[in-house]
Homo-oligomer: A and B are copies of this chain.
């Protein structure tokens, strides 16, 4: 296994740790190394994956903002390239998940039928505060990497 294969496999591992399919990590690594654009069929063939997986995972990477699809004039195939700011969307995803956690806390605190003791409210407040600062610094990272136009 050469260093490129190892890189691709590690990206697959990291994707898996993030709760994403391994193949999506391999596709991303493939684009980082080899650039692009690549056609749908090239992705499936060069990575040795089924066209079904290629379809599912290119759509996933599109939804994450990592890949972009476009049509070459005169060609019926789909082509893919790395997005201009491929990683910002990931940060936005983190922010959304943390905001979802905050909403979960607020729903509990604001629920009319529950009377929580003061200590519980304090712990919930501490948790919410943690999410707020985490979101804030993620926003800072977003701006630094140039994704502040959203």
On A, residues with C-beta under 8 Å from B are 2-4, 6-7, 10-11, 14, 17-19, 32-35, 82, 87, 91, 97, 100-101, 104-105, 107-108, 111, 113-114, 116, 119-120, 123-124, 127, 129-130, 133-134, 136-138, 140-141, 144-145
Contacts and interface: CB of A to CB of B under 8 A. Distances in A.
Given A6-B107, A136-B144, A138-B141, 9 more contacts: A7-B105, A10-B104, A11-B104, A14-B101, A32-B120, A35-B123, A133-B145, A137-B137, A137-B140
Contact of A144 (B18, B105, B116, B137): B137
Copies in the complex: 2
Given A101-B14, A104-B11, A114 B19 contact: no
Contacts of A107: 3, 6-7
A111 B10 CA distance: 15
A32 B141 contact: no
9 contacts: A2-B111, A3-B111, A4-B114, A11-B104, A14-B100, A32-B123, A35-B119, A87-B127, A137-B140
A87 B113 CA distance: 29
B141 A136 contact: yes
A17 B100 CA distance: 12
Contacts of A116: 33
A144 to B, nearest CB: 5
